[in-house]
Structure 1
Amino acid sequence: MNRNQKQFVYIFILIIIIGMSTSCSNQNARDPSTVRIAFFPNITHAQALIGKAEGQFQKELGETYTIQWKEFNAGPAEIEAFFAGEVDLGYIGPGPAINGFTKSLGDLVIIGGAADAGALLVSGKDVQIENVQALAGKKIAIPQYGNTQHLALINLLNENGLVASSKGGTVEIIAVANPDIKTLLDSGEIDAAFVPEPWGSRLIIQIGAKVVLDYNKVFRDGQYSTAVVIARKEFVEENPHIVEKFLKAHIEITQYINSDLKHAKQVVNDEIKHLTGMEVELEVLERAFERLVITYDPQKGSILSFANLAKQAGFISTTPEIEQLIDLTLLNKVLKEKQLEEIK
């Protein structure tokens, strides 16, 4: 191959590489007419499920924008999608939200609440655990390290003079997916579990798990956040009108749920079945919603407590400033326009 031929080959390869890079860049670039919303197929994300099924968010945004729904099953995966610029708004637990804010150096912010309470501590049907002190020497499962239930469990251990075995104590804490927690608790391979709804009710009804502490005893007398709404700070700053419309629909769906819970539960369950192929059993659904509060208030005090616990456990290096982590400016603007009480 002569020199001219070599130069031609190099130029050809360079053109291909540039073309591929441009293609990838175009695929990752955000279409300004598309709003990407993350959610879980879980009852704690009820507003997202109803809004997706019945179209309230799309109706509020109008024909100018198209909603692209992004389904996730775990907080870390959703946070990574935010980091990659693949999501604009999302429903998620406060634990991952705090972690995402810290790791992104403030690029992810909480802009509203979605659900409160709905977590409980249960033991196996043949295990004698009457109180938190009895967890000494026991093995307890949580769905994920650093999530809401894990942080609330750390608080319970602190209050009762107990320490996790990973820190030199006697309580062994393991992270297990919710479906596997049911199997392990039923077989006796774990002694207890700290889980969110609907898994708490499912464990009680299906395998005879016993309630050690109910939702209103595990943390702050039940006044704690279970799900929040987060957004990319850049997206909020560049598109406040879109975020306002989203929050308006979010508030209205919240009001609808609380005014017609019977119908709302059915819509939620139908959408879960549509997404996962399996509906939540009726008795489980009923009991689960009894332990949940569907809201747009993020319970700022509880989030600050979770942030302090996350730092104590080593999940984050510094406790974030609450006013930077939670920005309710647009939520309160919409609440004021609707003549509803603003959140302090």
Structure 2
Amino acid sequence: MAGLRGFRIVAWAVAFWAAAHGSGVAEVNEVRISFQYGLSYLPIHIVKSRHLIEKHAAAAGLGPVTVRFAQFNGGAAINDALLAGDIDYGVAGIAPALTLWDKTRGGLDVRAVAALDSLDIDLTSNNTGVGSIKDFTDQDRIAVPAVKVSIQSVLLQIAAEKAFGEGHHDELDRLTVSLNHPDATAAMLSRKAGISAHFVPPPYSVLQLSSPGIHKVTSSHQILGGPATLNVIYATARFRQQNPRLNVAVLAALREADDIIAGDKAAAVRIYVEEEKPGVPTEVIERVITNPAAGGYSVTPFATEQIAHFLHRTGALRNAPSSWRDYFFPEVGEGGS
């Protein structure tokens, strides 16, 4: 079996190299990428600031490539844009990516190109009566980037099932509202807009928790039992097939961005502050990305299968993946989960 598997990997590599170098099909000279808010997307900010896709595209012999970035409010909007052909790559939670993988099998065949991060994200609350998941009432409103679709919504469902029992994963869905992280943070800090809780990534979580009256209820690491890939970059099989060298350049750019984060954290923090302007002290951001317990950045997916299996078991996915390889393109390599 090991020999057969090795043969398949080599055969794939030869076939993909041939497609990249011998197809004779012109690849696009513009690529459009959408992503969201928070430190989870630090690699994308670095790719943008350092023009890393352009760099690796040129190294692959593609010539000048224009890369356009746009920040969206949530995974649902990103999925709609990808399906409409308005963007080429979506960067969002693993849950929205799995939703599209499930819906487009046999058609557009959307899959993840690479993992992004495994940062711990917090469920915060400004309601002093909420000490656990079980304490939320109909008076509460929980902000997430996209109701039912976002990874925050799915984490809330996993937590609800643990608290209320199997079959009750959607117990708190009625309390969720769609709101991007900057706006939800403003609402939490001002105690306005009726928002009493927020499933929020750093640095916005740090900003909230430093404010009197806001506390942590739980976190993604607590819910999942440890770090897991929560955000990915994904595309259609057609775009990958028609632009093989560009797709490899995107993956190479993300790998280099991860290397920059690991090797020059001061530069990574500076880029993030310049690009997103989160309104959080620089030292707070640096503290997050230098803390191993907070999670980290890697293109290799980690512990995503438990999320995929939960979504299938609860009916959100029609198709059950046999492993993470079903919903990732093979260029990401081995060692995932």
Q: Is the 8 A contact 1:165 1:173 kept in 2?
A: no
**CA pair 281-215 structure 1, distance change in 2 beyond 3 A:** farther
Other-structure match for 1:194: 199
TM superposition shift of 1:307: 2.6
Separation in 2, partners of 1:65, 1:232? 23
- Give yes or no for contact 1:162–1:171 (8 Å, CA) kept in 2: no
1:206 deviates by: 3.4
The answer to whether 1:49 aligns with 2:15 is no
Sort the Cα spacing of 1:160 and 1:240 in 2 relative to 1 into closer, same or farther, 3 A: same
CA contact (8 A) 1:137 1:170 kept: no
Alpha-carbon distance, 1:114 to partner: 0.7
- The CA deviation string for residues 232-252 of structure 1, in whole angstroms up to 9 with x for no partner, is 111222332222222122112
Which residue in the other structure is 2:66 paired with? Answer: 67
TM-superposed CA distance for 1:53, in Å, is 0.8
Larger radius of gyration: 1
Measured after TM superposition, the shift of residue 204 of structure 1 is 1.0
- Number of equivalent positions: 298
- Aligned twin of 1:329: 330
1:153 corresponding residue in structure 2 = 156
Please name the residue that 2:240 is paired with.
Answer: 236
Cα deviations by residue, 1:104-151 (Å, 9 ceiling, x for unpaired): 235210121111133112222x51433344446773513122211111
Q: Tell whether 2:257 aligns with 1:256.
A: no
CA contact (8 A) 1:142 1:176 kept: yes
**Alignment CA distance shift 1:166-1:131 (3 Å):** closer
Which shows bigger deviation, 256-265 or 286-295? 286-295
Identity %: 19
Contact 1:49–1:271 under 8 Å retained in 2: yes
Q: Match of 2:184?
A: 180
Segments of 5+ residues of structure 2 without an aligned counterpart are 1-25
263 and 295 in structure 1: CA distance in 2 versus 1, 3 angstrom threshold: same
Query: How many Å apart are 1:324 and its aligned residue?
Result: 5.9
Q: Deviations 1:44-91 (Å, cap 9, x if unpaired)?
A: 111111111111221111161413223132222221221122322332
> Normalization by structure 2: what TM-score?
0.76
- Identify which range, 233-242 or 258-267, moves more after superposition: 233-242
Distance in 2 separating the partners of 1:310 and 1:110: 17
**Does the CA contact (< 8 Å) of 2:35 and 2:91 recur in 1?**
yes
User: Which residue does the alignment assign to 2:22?
Assistant: none
**Equivalent pair of 1:164/1:170 in contact (CA under 8 Å):** no
1:32–1:328: structure 2 CA closer, same or farther, 3 Å change rule?
A: closer
Whichever residue aligns with residue 237 of structure 2, its letter is K
| Structure 1 CA distance for aligned equivalents of residues 167 and 195 of structure 2 | 15
The offset of 1:327, in angstroms, is 2.7
Aligned-partner Cα distance in 1 for 2:40–2:284: 14
Q: CA deviation at 1:314?
A: 4.7
Provide the C-alpha distance between the structure 1 equivalents of 2:267 and 2:166, rounded to a whole number of angstroms.
44
What code does the residue aligned with 2:176 have?
I
Q: CA deviation at 1:95?
A: 1.4
> Mean Cα displacement is larger for which, 158-167 or 71-80?
158-167
How many Å apart are 1:158 and its aligned residue? 1.2
Kindly provide the amino acid, as one letter, of the partner of residue 218 in structure 2: L
1:79-118 alignment runs, 5 A limit: 79-105=79-105, 107-118=109-120
Name the structure 1 match of 2:307.
306
What amino acid maps onto 1:149 in structure 2? Q
- Residues 297 and 211 of structure 1: CA distance in aligned 2, closer, same or farther (over 3 Å): same
Which 5+ residue runs of structure 1 have no aligned equivalent? 1-29, 333-340
Aligned-residue RMSD, C-alpha = 3.1
Q: CA–CA distance in 2 between the matches of 1:225 and 1:140?
A: 26
Q: How does 1:207-226 map to 2 (within 5 A)?
A: 207-221=212-226, 223-226=227-230
Structure 2 counterpart SS, 1:111: strand
1:225 shift after superposition: 1.5
Could you tell me the TM-score, scaled by structure 1's length? 0.74
2:19 corresponds in structure 1 to none
